[in-house]
Structure 1
Amino acid sequence: MSGGCGVSEGNGRPALRVGIVGLGIAGSSMVPALQKHPNVRLTAVSTRNEERGRKFAEDFPVEVYPGIEELCESESVDAVYVATPTQLHGEHAIIAAERGKHVIVEKPIAVTLEEAGAMIEAAERNGVKMVVGPSQSFEPPIRKIREIVEGGSLGRVRMIHNWYFNDWMYRPRTPDELDTGQGGGVTYRQGAHQFDIIRLIGGGMVRSVRAMTGRWDDDRPTEGAHSVFLEFEDRTAATAVYNGYDRFHTTEITFGIGEGGPLVTSDVYGRSRKLIRKSGGSDAEVALKDAAGYGGERAKNYAKTEPHHPFFGLTVVSCERGDIRQSPDGLLVYGPEEKEEVILPKDVTGRDALIGELYEAVANDEAPLHDGRWGRANIEVCVAALESARERKEVYLSHQTPVPEKGNALPQAR
């Protein structure tokens, strides 16, 4: 490992020391997973919000820096989690790589394929590992679906669908999140999750994309909905449907369980839409978003354990001899002769798996599954969907990467 790593107590494996860049919702949500891994140490954070940095330092024994450059100069940091806005991912990941730091970069990897390519080149040139996430394909139900598909008991996978209806467009947003040119809108921000799920289950190699997107609110001038058809090289068909306009919510048909795993117990129809329009304008909305970051008034308990596995909308997978979808406690498998529920343990989350994947890649000097090329392949689908909708044509892909062969596909969290 780089950065002068020490040896952790107890098991003799080297420790990976991680610094977080950005203490908004994403950066704060990663803290429990970093603390949970027996060989990972949270040693530093970088934030431009001085109050947030002071609060974090009161709660955790870490170094605090005003910028990523200063953090990456620290000899106490081996890897950097880039949890900054999408339009800064490329710049920040390259800064970390050029200083010999391994990188976790938030999804989507970048706004353009060219920027993603530069990030990949920087990581490889400097001999560091890069993992893109957290994304929904790290979650145990999605990983288990891939395992079942790969095992072949239901025959070859033939159709994959992920449909998600929620309130994404009316949660508190910063201006860049509503600007497609800066990686905003649901096709970049949420399509990156959908395409990651679909590509993992289907083996990775998408041949082409045909899509239509929707901008249905002039006050939120970015994509708030899309319908995307993906064709894999092996003729597997997939659809990704997303509507973030806060009317019908998919939780009505996913056992009341939403993203992250909480149980929705009240009627959420239009709630976010009404609240954001009463917030008092863009400045007030930005303040609401800021309050959801570390130490803010609206910040959730990031270490809270939810009662169920997360549902990123409705995912249904059809194989030649059966179908698969999620249940509250795992998966429902509709086989040739009977329906079976597969119960999955809840002690490992998607973020745990992400940290485990980076650690094992660094410790064993192997390429992680969700590496820069995997992240670029996902953003290629996002870019293609936007192009297809704009040009009203099928778009063929050239940067796709396959899921590794059986036995090395899903590195486990430890």
Structure 2
Amino acid sequence: MTNFQDLSYQLRIGIVGLGNAGSALLPSIAKHPNVKVTAASGRNVERLKKFAGDYQAEYYLSVEDLCRSELVDAVYIASPTELHVEHVKIATNYKKHIIVEKPLAVSVEEADLLIQSAEQAGIHLIVGHSFSFEPPIRKIREIVEEGKLGNVRMINNWYYNDWMYRLRTPEELDTALGGGVTYRQGSHQFDVIRYIGGGMIRSVRAMTGRWDESRPTEGAHAAFLEFEDGTAATAVYNGYDHFLTTELTFGIGEGGPSQRTQGYASSRKAIQQLSSSDEERTLKSQKGYGGKQSKNYAQEKAHQPFFGLTVVSCERGDIRQSPNGLYVYGEDEKYEVQLGTETGRDVMVAELYDAVVGDKPPIHDGRWGKANLEVCQAVLQSARERKEIYLSHQVAIDLSHRTLMK
């Protein structure tokens, strides 16, 4: 757990966007003894008024008005990807510390602009790749660093799910705006792989798939990633709602037990019944804060979350997740490592607090987010050009300042 530097300091956070991502962070903010949500901005006035009443907070219809507030020290930017550049720049103009949802931007050039803006403003910029914050992934990295199993040599993450047929806005299905599984979910997948492997990917060879004309973006990819030290990794993602990897992960998905309760291919069949993208957009809006279909994120986690099937091979053993931690397959025995109830979002809030209050450099800073974005772009480029793509913006992970898990 994080050691807080100043128990009297209250970090005040404003939320930009009260959709799924913005709503999901609220329980983690509430858990932290020194962080408080004080404001939100968005377009849905009814939702904002409910939020303001529930949290005794301010609400605004513009991001600039929120960032202008003296009751806000930091902002969580959970707006659509295509708005990240605009909203991060507004926050840096008002010198607010930032967590921005993944991906950081849609191009490396845009990422550079945001990193430079944050540095000039003297504020911390964290990119919210929440799955590498999760306890099993962080513990795998710790085991790798301890060296008892030897050096890591191979990392595999395979994820089959229904992502393409969950409720989507048109922008989420437009690759040019950062849509599709390679940008939206590859950001998580490559982040997890880079975190475990130390960060420095040398090259990418990949293919992508667009297999449904009604959902015109990448719904699948298969990538081979080579690290600078020769470690090999595969990243396979298929969001077309046929086979689900929850069949291999104890029925557990990203937030807890598998959500498939309506029968085979229920997400795909439900989307096919909708009359228009406007109807889909309306239904998705109901999943935001206070909506008819909103989740109770405070009660979501029943087990350690599984972002697909992750298997890590070291020279003298393998590691994979268990429902409550990790299975370690050593040379002489297999054993389980039990992990606590902390969530990745809890750690993300703590990383922001430690950066602002304790002056600890965050792991998931702008350059880390830029490096993950570079992998996403390399996968798309490799698929287009059918060749290996070499990377030039990778950064190594530095855990020297972090407190080890217990």
TM-score (norm 2): 0.96
Once the two structures are superposed, what CA deviation does each residue of 1:138-162 show, in whole Å capped at 9, x if it has no partner? 0000000000001101000000000
Instruction: Give the one of 384, 394, 402 matched to 2:378.
Output: 384
State the partner residue of 2:48.
53
Q: Tell me, what secondary structure is at the counterpart of 1:19?
A: strand
State the partner residue of 2:189.
194
Contact 2:129/2:191 (CA < 8 Å) preserved in 1? no
Contact 2:203/2:389 (CA < 8 Å) preserved in 1? yes
Q: Give the letter for the 2:65 counterpart.
A: E
1:366 aligns with 2:360: yes
Q: Give the letter for the 2:23 counterpart.
A: S
Contact 1:18/1:78 (CA < 8 Å) preserved in 2? yes
Q: Tell me, what secondary structure is at the counterpart of 1:30?
A: helix
State the partner residue of 2:334.
339
In structure 2, the CA distance between the partners of 1:70 and 1:412, relative to structure 1 (3 Å rule), is farther
Q: Could you tell me how far 1:98 is from its partner in structure 2?
A: 1.5
1:244 aligns with 2:239: yes
Instruction: Name the CA distance, whole Å, in 2 between partners of 1:105 and 1:286.
Output: 23
Q: Tell me, what secondary structure is at the counterpart of 1:384?
A: helix
Instruction: Name the CA distance, whole Å, in 2 between partners of 1:48 and 1:262.
Output: 32
Contact 1:83/1:105 (CA < 8 Å) preserved in 2? yes
TM-score (norm 1): 0.95
Q: Could you tell me how far 1:267 is from its partner in structure 2?
A: 6.8
Instruction: Name the CA distance, whole Å, in 1 between partners of 2:403 and 2:76.
Output: 19
State the partner residue of 1:407.
400
Gaps of 5+ in 1: 1-7
Instruction: Name the CA distance, whole Å, in 1 between partners of 2:192 and 2:379.
Output: 16
Instruction: Name the CA distance, whole Å, in 2 between partners of 1:56 and 1:154.
Output: 48
State the partner residue of 2:114.
119
* Superposed counterparts of 1:63-212, under 5 Å: 63-212=58-207
Instruction: Name the CA distance, whole Å, in 2 between partners of 1:135 and 1:173.
Output: 20
Q: Give the letter for the 2:84 counterpart.
A: H
Q: Give the letter for the 1:19 counterpart.
A: G
Q: Could you tell me how far 1:134 is from its partner in structure 2?
A: 3.9
Q: Tell me, what secondary structure is at the counterpart of 2:394?
A: coil
Once the two structures are superposed, what CA deviation does each residue of 1:57-104 show, in whole Å capped at 9, x if it has no partner? 121110100011000100000000000000111111111012110000
Q: Could you tell me how far 1:12 is from its partner in structure 2?
A: 3.8
Instruction: Name the CA distance, whole Å, in 1 between partners of 2:57 and 2:403.
Output: 28
Contact 2:202/2:226 (CA < 8 Å) preserved in 1? yes
Q: Could you tell me how far 1:111 is from its partner in structure 2?
A: 0.6
Instruction: Name the CA distance, whole Å, in 2 between partners of 1:13 and 1:268.
Output: 51
1:295 aligns with 2:290: yes
Q: Tell me, what secondary structure is at the counterpart of 2:299?
A: coil
Q: Tell me, what secondary structure is at the counterpart of 1:283?
A: helix
Q: Could you tell me how far 1:233 is from its partner in structure 2?
A: 0.2
Q: Tell me, what secondary structure is at the counterpart of 1:357?
A: helix
Q: Could you tell me how far 1:279 is from its partner in structure 2?
A: 1.9
* Superposed counterparts of 1:3-82, under 5 Å: 12-82=7-77
Instruction: Name the CA distance, whole Å, in 2 between partners of 1:136 and 1:216.
Output: 27
* Superposed counterparts of 1:258-273, under 5 Å: 258-264=253-259, 266=261, 268-273=263-268
Q: Could you tell me how far 1:344 is from its partner in structure 2?
A: 0.6
Contact 2:255/2:300 (CA < 8 Å) preserved in 1? no
Q: Give the letter for the 1:155 counterpart.
A: G
In structure 2, the CA distance between the partners of 1:83 and 1:227, relative to structure 1 (3 Å rule), is same
State the partner residue of 2:269.
274
Instruction: Name the CA distance, whole Å, in 1 between partners of 2:258 and 2:327.
Output: 19
Instruction: Name the CA distance, whole Å, in 2 between partners of 1:220 and 1:206.
Output: 30
- What RMSD in Å do the two structures reach over aligned CA positions? 1.6
Instruction: Give the one of 340, 346, 349 matched to 2:343.
Output: 349
Instruction: Name the CA distance, whole Å, in 2 between partners of 1:12 and 1:247.
Output: 49
Instruction: Name the CA distance, whole Å, in 2 between partners of 1:411 and 1:114.
Output: 33
Q: Give the letter for the 2:145 counterpart.
A: E
Contact 2:129/2:187 (CA < 8 Å) preserved in 1? no
Contact 1:377/1:399 (CA < 8 Å) preserved in 2? yes
Q: Percent identity?
A: 64
Q: Give the letter for the 2:359 counterpart.
A: D
In structure 2, the CA distance between the partners of 1:357 and 1:219, relative to structure 1 (3 Å rule), is same
Q: Tell me, what secondary structure is at the counterpart of 2:328?
A: strand
Once the two structures are superposed, what CA deviation does each residue of 1:334-380 show, in whole Å capped at 9, x if it has no partner? 0010000101111x100000000010011122320000000000000
Instruction: Name the CA distance, whole Å, in 1 between partners of 2:54 and 2:403.
Output: 31
Q: Tell me, what secondary structure is at the counterpart of 2:297?
A: coil
